[in-house]
Structure 1
Amino acid sequence: MIIGIPKEIKPQEYRVASTPDCMKRLINQGHSVLVEKGAGIGAGFLDTDFIQAGAEIVDRNKLFEKSEMIYKVKEFFPEEFQYLREGLIIFTYIHSNAHREQTDAFLEKNVIGIAYEDIQDQNGEFPLLKPMSELAGKGGFIMACQYAQKSNHGSGLMLNRVHGVRTPHVTIIGAGTAGLGAAELAAAFQNQVSILEIDLNKLEQAKYKLPPNVELLCSNHNNLIACLKKTDVLMNCILWPKWRKDHLVSKDMLKMMKPGALIIDVSCDEAGAIETCRATSHDDPIYIEEGIVHYCVDNIPSTFARTATESLANATLPYALELANKGPKKALVENQALRKGLSFYFGNLTLEETGKKQNRSYITPEEALGMRA
């Protein structure tokens, strides 16, 4: 199979889909890899690194023209829609529920779209979200340290225990991979940390991973309100169902928070768990609403592009190999985890949450693949 790795065009996106080492695995199994000129620069990989691994460096037009599978990091933007064609395999973070124009284009062009974020293994885990979730949680806390600074429109609070002054409080919603990553750093900086989680098993597991300055709370209304009133930083690390119209933290609830407190929405579901969340960029990362500073950048891991690229490439490679070695239909039929990520198949929408959020008709991946009537 001919696999194309384009340069990401999302503003401030520095990751690339594969490292030279991971690329060698694809090439050694008989596949050809095309890399767009300069695709790896942001992550610290030169074109010569990819050439030494056996790839061919090409321009964007040739890459999309020749490739059978596009292997990338972020969703497609309108200027990339011209390159779509029937049967082209798109393997990336798609986030179709949040991008109606992209959904229209993928359906119109009859592509095969497989979303990293929806691949789910037999244990219910999301293996291609997990490495980026850890970086997003840890990076989110690093950004909290930055945007708590007065020079960045914050309250001027140092998120660290300093003798003689009150120790800051950090509230983290969710004890998943992102939440634990955020808690690990927040606790290491000796803040008072509270984690809110509805899954008591996750809280029990967190007890053995985190130090005593992390309070582990069942997520309910009373505990949430108590945390909102005292916290200096609120970090959202849960994914909110895309079709839900309610919110965990409403706009009115922000009035309970300290003036100048900071919200870091790691998950960045627009108007999701936090009603006032709207996606921002690294160029313009914050806004203030109800006196609360909001940081809602939707690609935090890009800031740590080298680490993020290596971690993501390691996680996606087995699935990319399976698609390339078996072809998309056989790979999807035989691998249930991969099939969970199927969002588009020759003009059919196969992702329930996008169908519900965008009020579109959809079918199951199994129906699309002819596995059952």
Structure 2
Amino acid sequence: MNNNLNPIKLTAAELSYLWTSYLADSMSICVLKYFLVHIDDLDIKSLINHALELSQKHLDFIRELFTYEQIQIPQGFTEQDVNLLAKRLFSDIFYLRYIRNMSKGGLVTYGRVLQNVYRQDIRSFYAECMTDTLELDSKATTILLEKGLAMRPPIIPYPQKLEFVHKQSFILEGLGRREALTGAEVTNLYANVLTNRLGVAITTAFSQVAKSNKVRKYFLRGKEVSLKHIKVLSSYLEMDSLGFPIAFEQEVTDSKESPFSDKLMMFHFNLMIYAGVGNYGIAVSESQRTDLVVDYTRFNMEVLKLSEDGANLMIENEWLEQPPLAANRRDLSKG
């Protein structure tokens, strides 16, 4: 790193994003290395190798930057958090769906990050992360299509004439509510069922192998929440005779030998929860039916409560690293 290029101190946003990225990429390296131990499909293996290279590249950049800036490098996740000798827990198809979902989440995250980053080296880094993730997402999508595994959103009729809304029942439930969903509503319902399907598969696997009874119960509770949300969201699509994603818990084996530490699995699941909160928030903003807005809002409250309890469990076990904090001026003024 050229010492002359970075005279400007990192902002709170830049520091926080880099810190969180370090944790997420260190976790991904552990997960992907385990995936590569048990894999048969050469196309999917190549995809996972590519994802691993990207995560390692991101981690190396942040570690070098933090060293130069004299910032404490997070502990993150290391070889102590993964058991590469553990039996296979997931199928190759799960790996493919996992990469596609994580790349979708990465595109959303990096898009948000770039809006709040100003230092040129950090902007360049996250712009490259965005480009890398877009390429990974394209490769994963291509493989899903080639193998006939892609879960496409439903098709709706093309508009044939210009029309305007004349009744409040288009939005307000109880005034002769419209039954037909808008394209945006269909898209968000389908996407949220799909991500919850992944959540069910992940919690199924993690609950099988968790060492702590409290952690196991937490994953089972998360699974119940996801299943309940799937039931409600799918019912909207079903009422309009639209398809919804099928379950893929069958891509989880019956192994009870944990490949990951409970700490890693808790962090992983809570990352998924945060992504879910964002997905529901977007769905609220793009829904024009009050019943949908009410359901999404209720789901977000349930998920946030689950997240809070997960954080408390991680604190109890000293697994939650403290993120960068602003200076406490009140304490400082006390001397």
Higher relative contact order (CA 8 A, sep 6+): 2
Greater percentage in strand: 1
Greater percentage in helix: 2
TM-score by structure 1 length?
A: 0.25
TM-score by structure 2 length?
A: 0.27
